[in-house]
Amino acid sequence: MAAELPDDFKCPFSLEIMADPLILFTYHTFDRWLDVGTAPAQLPNRPSLPPPPPPPSIIPNHAPRNLISNFTLLSIPKPSQLIQQKKKNWESVLDLLEHPPAMAGGGDELIFVYGTLKRGFYNHSLLEDLIRTGAAAYIGSCTTVEAFPLVCGPHGIPYLVNLPGSGLRVRGELYSLSSIHGLARLDELEGVKRGHYERLPVAVAEGEKLKDAEAYFAHMEFGEKLWKRCGEVGLSEYGVDLGKKYVRREDRPTDHSFIDDIHKFILEGNSSPSS
């Protein structure tokens, strides 16, 4: 029976015999098998090769062998372990969606809505989704403490203009949002990053209670121009009749942008008919 060599003499990659610490060339290995009597019977005869060069000097350095040994000891996860980890990752994602992170500071954000986000209007479905997941809650009807211009622009879209003292006190609805995720969805709908609206502080009255909230105002780049375009005549409420004039985003022309529509609407109001 062939003698077993210590593991220290076997390379974990090529299974060749190792001299401490250098790996010998393949034909050297074959020679060593023959020398120590460990060449398997099924191995073919040694091929005819030119005489090998003299073996290199063996330098006693254990670092390479330790490195190889440590590498082979790495724990490679089994497929079943990978499946379990992937399942845990998905459970974490689903839990995050069902229980979104709270607002910074732990408090809820109060949002005053006055247009298509109100109950009975087209975009209220977004708030319904947030309420269903516990990320939002309806507080009640309320009115702005100060007067603000509320006007209707192109596509029947309402705009609150940040000109306190102009216009009328505006009626709307108050909601609390308990997650950053919910607020981000509202910001996306209102085009905050695209220069459509700005989310700004506003004081509202719910009965006799005064509350600090935020509302989506027309962007400062065109808000005042929009107010003048409408003859500086404001609304106290965006009602059902005006809501019927609202054009859904998917039904609007696609050859120009939201901002283009605003500027066109303003310019049409500024152009006087020729006499």
The CATH number of the domain where 116 resides is what? 3.10.490.10
**Does residue 30 sit within a domain?**
yes
Is 190 considered catalytic here?
yes
* pLDDT score at 101: 55
171 Cβ partners below 8 Å, 6+ apart?
114, 141, 142, 143, 236, 237
pLDDT digits (tens, 9 = 90+) for 135-148: 999 999 999 999 99
pLDDT digits (tens, 9 = 90+) for 77-124: 667 777 777 777 777 666 666 655 555 444 589 999 999 999 999 999
Give 75's pLDDT tier (boundaries 50, 70, 90): low
Highest-pLDDT range among 65-69, 126-130, 252-256 = 126-130
User: Cβ distance 143 to 171 under 8 Å?
Assistant: yes
**Residue 242 shares a structural domain with residue 114:** yes
216 Cβ partners below 8 Å, 6+ apart?
113, 160, 186, 190, 192, 197, 198, 199
Distance CA 215, CA 150 (A): 12
**Does residue 83 sit within a domain?**
no
Q: How many domains does the chain have?
A: 2
In the chain, which ranges are continuous DSSP H helix? 26-36, 63-72, 79-98, 124-132, 180-189, 223-229, 240-243, 258-270
pLDDT digits (tens, 9 = 90+) for 32-46: 555 555 545 444 555
Residue 122, token pair as written in the block? 């087209």
**Residue 144 shares a structural domain with residue 206:** yes
**Does residue 269 sit within a domain?**
no
**Residue 120 shares a structural domain with residue 227:** yes
- Is residue 274 pLDDT above 50, yes or no? no
**Residue 233 shares a structural domain with residue 144:** yes
DSSP-based three-state secondary structure for 209:
strand
- Is residue 188 pLDDT above 70, yes or no? yes
- Per the prediction, the chain carries an average pLDDT of 79
- Is residue 55 pLDDT above 70, yes or no? no
Q: Which carries the bigger pLDDT value, residue 70 or residue 269?
A: 269
**Residue 113 shares a structural domain with residue 227:** yes
**Does residue 100 sit within a domain?**
no
**Does residue 170 sit within a domain?**
yes
Range of the domain at 19: 7-72
Tally of CB atoms within 10 A around 218: 26
Distance CA 79, CA 85 (A): 10
Q: What is the β-pairing status of strands 136-148 and 150-152?
A: unpaired
* pLDDT score at 89: 76
Candidates 173, 190, 198, 214; catalytic one? 190
* pLDDT score at 23: 46
Q: How far is CA 184 from the centre of its chain?
A: 10
**Residue 32 shares a structural domain with residue 155:** no
Among 249, 243, 244, smallest CA distance to 261 is for 249
**Does residue 103 sit within a domain?**
no
**Residue 238 shares a structural domain with residue 113:** yes
**Residue 152 shares a structural domain with residue 213:** yes
- Helices and strands counted in the chain (H then E): 8, 7
**Residue 243 shares a structural domain with residue 134:** yes
- Is residue 183 pLDDT above 90, yes or no? yes
**Residue 19 shares a structural domain with residue 120:** no
Residue 147, token pair as written in the block? 């007067």
Q: b/e per residue, 116-153, with b = 16+ CB within 10 A?
A: bbbeebbbbebbeebeeeebbeebeebbbeebbbbbbb
Q: Which carries the bigger pLDDT value, residue 58 or residue 145?
A: 145
**Residue 15 shares a structural domain with residue 145:** no
The DSSP output letter for 127 is H
**Residue 164 shares a structural domain with residue 243:** yes
Torsion sign (Cα): 57, 63, 66, 72: negative
* pLDDT score at 249: 86
pLDDT digits (tens, 9 = 90+) for 146-181: 999 999 999 999 999 999 999 999 999 999 998 788
- Is residue 18 pLDDT above 70, yes or no? no
**Does residue 98 sit within a domain?**
no
DSSP-based three-state secondary structure for 116:
coil
